[in-house]
Amino acid sequence: TVLHAERDGFIVFPNSEALAGTEWFYFAVQSDRVL
């Protein structure tokens, strides 16, 4: 089985201390939003 994203993006790991079984990454995409 091939797993692929529907568009280009980035994998973000916001919590370096996340434990197994918890939400520990996000799929991010480029945005024009000003932060």
Q: What is the mean pLDDT of each run of 10 residues along the chain (35 residues)?
A: 91 86 86 92
**CA 21, chain centre distance (Å):** 16
* 21-29, Cβ contacts within 8 angstroms, sequence gap of 24 or more: none
- Model pLDDT, residue 17: 87
Number of structural domains (the chain) is: 1
| 28 within 8 A of 7, measured Cβ to Cβ | no
Helices (H) and strands (E) in the chain, counts: 0, 2
- Model pLDDT, residue 35: 84
- Model pLDDT, residue 7: 93
- Model pLDDT, residue 15: 86
Q: Could you give the residue ranges of the DSSP H alpha helices within 1-35?
A: none
Residue partners of 30: CB distance under 8 A and separation at least 6: 9
- Residue ranges making up the domain that contains 22: 1-35
